[in-house]
Chain A
């Protein structure tokens, strides 16, 4: 009886610890993963792809799948309802959310009067870059053809002159210790 007591005490503690752990993980499970049931794998894959695709309206840059905001939880339920219970097509789900929450929920924004510039600006900047590079190249090749024979002779004399000066310089710098 006396021996059994500490044993019981340890078992009790262990059970308590396990309970605490499991309830803690249950909290995480509730906030992170919704317990939805799917009748087949295709449905589940479609659901996961869709909640990956939409942006949570509450958070600046999180998708529905990755957000814990209450509105994201609600919208996941909506997507589940549309996909599984109402058997809507993917595009119908997209339209449903876009009508209510605007283009904002689509990470892949449509091309329209309000959004044209986010499509056009990168293309324009890319073109600008191409033109700049082409222009620089033309300037470089243009300079290459400029030298005529007299200029080349002058260039040669300059290069030889510097070579001679360099030779002097290196000769002079051969014993730097003596100076310092």
Chain B
């Protein structure tokens, strides 16, 4: 009995180690929950990139699922996810809207001309005010909105093939988006 109680400090020590290990692991930045999940996407009225005479509002996004992708030319991760976005645009019928965040319009337009344009619209958010409404704190960030304009999912960081397969494609299917290709066949199986 006495001898067993000698191991209590060791047990406490291991407990502290475990808590610390798990705790530091929890600190992963992408786990930060968005304040917008299951809430309506904020109201906005934003000019279109390269077409400043034209602007769209939140109402223009309603009626179908929408991916809102926050990007900028100064953001290298945005370039690395661009190919994936192009592929989503090519193989699905989800509407993709870009938010050009704290960027220069001329650079952004050149970027789209060079690497392709997966977006139905690109909003010009050069001062980052729309970003603040959305709770954006970096780029890239991607929001998935349902047809009623509610945010069902947010990804901080790039949309890579792994995220697409495990998190985005299943949610798009759930929202009734049709996806062409083998990925979708795999995801459609229950």
Other-chain contact of A104, B32, B128, B132, B133 (Cβ < 8 Å): B32
> For window 58-89 of chain A, which residues contact chain B by CB distance below 8 Å?
58, 60, 69-71, 74-75, 78
Query: Could you tell me the distance in whole angstroms from the C-beta of B1 to the nearest C-beta in chain A?
Result: 12
Q: Is the interface of A mostly helix, strand, loop or mixed?
A: helix
- With contacts A58-B138, A60-B27 taken as known, whether A100 is within 8 angstroms of B35 at the C-beta atoms is yes
Decide: A101 and B135 in contact? CB cutoff 8 A. Answer: yes
Per-position binary interface string of chain B over residues 110-128, scored 1 when its CB falls under 8 Å from any chain A CB and 0 otherwise: 0000000000000000001
Decide: B132 and A78 in contact? CB cutoff 8 A. Answer: yes
- For the side of the interface on A, what is the size category? 10 to 19
Tell me which residues across on chain B come within 8 A of A70, comparing CB atoms: 102, 128
Tell me which residues across on chain B come within 8 A of A98, comparing CB atoms: 35
Tell me which residues across on chain B come within 8 A of A69, comparing CB atoms: 137
Tell me which residues across on chain B come within 8 A of A58, comparing CB atoms: 137-138
Decide: B138 and A100 in contact? CB cutoff 8 A. Answer: no
Decide: B137 and A99 in contact? CB cutoff 8 A. Answer: no
Decide: A102 and B33 in contact? CB cutoff 8 A. Answer: yes
CA distance A75 to B137 in the complex (A): 10
- With contacts A70-B102, A75-B132 taken as known, whether A57 is within 8 angstroms of B27 at the C-beta atoms is no
Number of interface residues of B (CB under 8 A): 17
Query: Could you tell me the distance in whole angstroms from the C-beta of B103 to the nearest C-beta in chain A?
Result: 12
Decide: B27 and A101 in contact? CB cutoff 8 A. Answer: no
Tell me which residues across on chain A come within 8 A of B102, comparing CB atoms: 70
21 A–B contacts, CB within 8 A, in A order: A57-B32, A57-B137, A58-B138, A60-B27, A69-B137, A70-B102, A70-B128, A71-B137, A71-B138, A74-B128, A74-B131, A75-B132, A78-B132, A98-B35, A100-B42, A100-B132, A100-B135, A101-B135, A102-B33, A102-B35, A102-B135
Interface residues of A (CB under 8 A from B): 57-58, 60, 69-71, 74-75, 78, 98-104
Interface residues of B (CB under 8 A from A): 27, 29, 32-35, 42, 102, 128, 131-138
